[in-house]
């Protein structure tokens, strides 16, 4: 809820600035245009899918992570901190984080596509929900394996 309440207006401005056809779009100009055409509600366009899907995304992320980590520890043995990469990075945690990113991406991809289409006021069909799916899964896997 807080992420949508606080972050959605900035996310909407970022998306609209990215797809703008003007020569030098900036956030302030985009915000003024959005407010004049849609009011405060315009800043929250596309927020509903994230509000509804947020819990599912996080559940998938941590569910995959918590499922993979014990399997790695069982199959390969718990890692001794002396064998961590660079002395501080547990490769099992990195791999489980990668899996968590895949889990989140599987759920987030469709929600993200609907969010963006609503932000730019573009029609969409259910068949479109997989557009950008691979990039979302890869981005999340990379991000969640790095912390």
| pLDDT for position 3 | 80
| pLDDT for position 138 | 95
Per residue in 98-147, pLDDT (tens digit) is 999 999 999 999 999 999 999 999 999 999 999 998 999 999 999 999 97
Both tokens assigned to 141? 């896997």
What would the mean pLDDT of 84-88 be, rounded to a whole number? 92
CA proximity to 145, closest of 99, 79, 78: 99
What would the mean pLDDT of 9-28 be, rounded to a whole number? 90
Residue written as token pair 């990668």: 98
The answer on pLDDT for 96 being more than 80 is yes
- CA dist., res. 85 & res. 146, Å (int): 13
């Amino acid at each position: 809820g807080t992420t949508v309440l606080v972050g959605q207006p900035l996310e909407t401005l970022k998306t609209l600035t990215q797809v703008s056809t003007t020569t030098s779009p900036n956030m302030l100009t985009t915000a003024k245009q959005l407010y004049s055409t849609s009011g405060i509600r315009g800043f929250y366009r596309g927020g509903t899918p994230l509000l509804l899907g947020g819990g599912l995304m996080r559940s998938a992320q941590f569910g995959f992570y918590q499922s993979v980590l014990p399997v790695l520890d069982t199959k390969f043995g718990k890692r001794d901190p002396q064998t961590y990469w660079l002395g501080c990075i547990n490769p099992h945690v990195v791999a489980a984080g990668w899996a968590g990113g895949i889990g989140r991406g599987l759920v987030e991809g469709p929600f993200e596509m609907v969010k963006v289409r609503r932000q730019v006021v573009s029609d969409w069909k259910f068949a479109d929900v997989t557009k950008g799916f691979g990039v979302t899964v890869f981005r999340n896997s990379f991000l969640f394996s790095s912390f």
